[in-house]
A = this chain, B = another copy of it.
């Protein structure tokens, strides 16, 4: 069966996003220094050949194991699931060709027709449960896997429901001092994880956990 996975960048102090990185301050990257912090956390990805090519950032870039991991991760995704706030941020920030190229299930109370973008991304708006969104994602993903894209609250809901098979974290040695934590409101009754793979690189430690 298709796997459900999460892959995120994380600051050393456990934040997915720094304080100030909100929709309201999207056009003000200096607000609480959010863009510099986020850029420092994600610096490793901007160095990868596959990422640069996909986002049309220019030639070059690393082609080692991290690049291979990025490529494999992207290629395994058959559907994405995300929360309303992440969608709203992206609706504003993504290019017309949204960077998913799969069906994307958006958890929201808003009733809205599917929104088809060039390049294979269609956003579907799910008004019921996280389980229902996962069912729809599974149906459209076929043999491929389902990525819980974010934000933090959606990831936490899927973790708490015991629905996450794999958790991949790129832990960067950056201190945010505040922001949105990955691990908050997590029940200690969630199924445990075991360490599956560690990639040791200068800018981030790539940790992958699978359900124990």
User: Which A residues contact B (CB, under 8 angstroms)?
Assistant: 12-14, 18, 33, 37, 171, 173-178, 181, 183, 186-190, 192-195, 198, 200-205, 207, 209, 212
Question: Do A177 and B173 have beta carbons less than 8 Å apart?
Answer: no
- Minimal Cβ-Cβ distance residue in B for A176: B188
Interface centre among A177, A181, A209 (most CB of B within 10 A): A177
Contact of A175 among B186, B198, B201 (CB under 8 A): B186
Task: For the complex formed, measure the closest distance between the CB of A111 and the CB atoms of chain B, giving whole angstroms.
Answer: 35
Interface of A is mostly: loop
**Copies of chain A in the complex:** 2
**Given A13-B186, A174-B192, A177-B188; A200-B198 close (CB under 8 Å):** yes
Task: For the complex formed, measure the closest distance between the CB of A199 and the CB atoms of chain B, giving whole angstroms.
Answer: 9
- Minimal Cβ-Cβ distance residue in B for A196: B173
Give Cα A33–Cα B209 distance, bound, in whole angstroms.
23
**Given A12-B183, A209-B12; A173-B198 close (CB under 8 Å):** no
28 contacts between A and B (CB under 8 A): A12-B193, A13-B14, A13-B186, A14-B183, A18-B188, A33-B188, A37-B188, A171-B207, A173-B193, A173-B194, A173-B195, A173-B209, A174-B192, A175-B183, A175-B190, A175-B192, A175-B193, A177-B186, A177-B187, A177-B189, A177-B190, A178-B188, A195-B200, A195-B202, A195-B203, A198-B200, A198-B205, A200-B200
Give Cα A129–Cα B148 distance, bound, in whole angstroms.
46
Question: What chain B residues lie within 8 Å of A201 (beta carbons)?
Answer: 195
Question: What chain B residues lie within 8 Å of A200 (beta carbons)?
Answer: 195, 198, 200
Task: Give 11 A-B pairs besides A175-B183, A175-B188, A177-B190 with Cβ atoms closer than 8 angstroms.
Answer: A14-B14, A14-B181, A18-B188, A173-B193, A173-B195, A173-B212, A175-B192, A176-B188, A194-B202, A195-B202, A195-B204
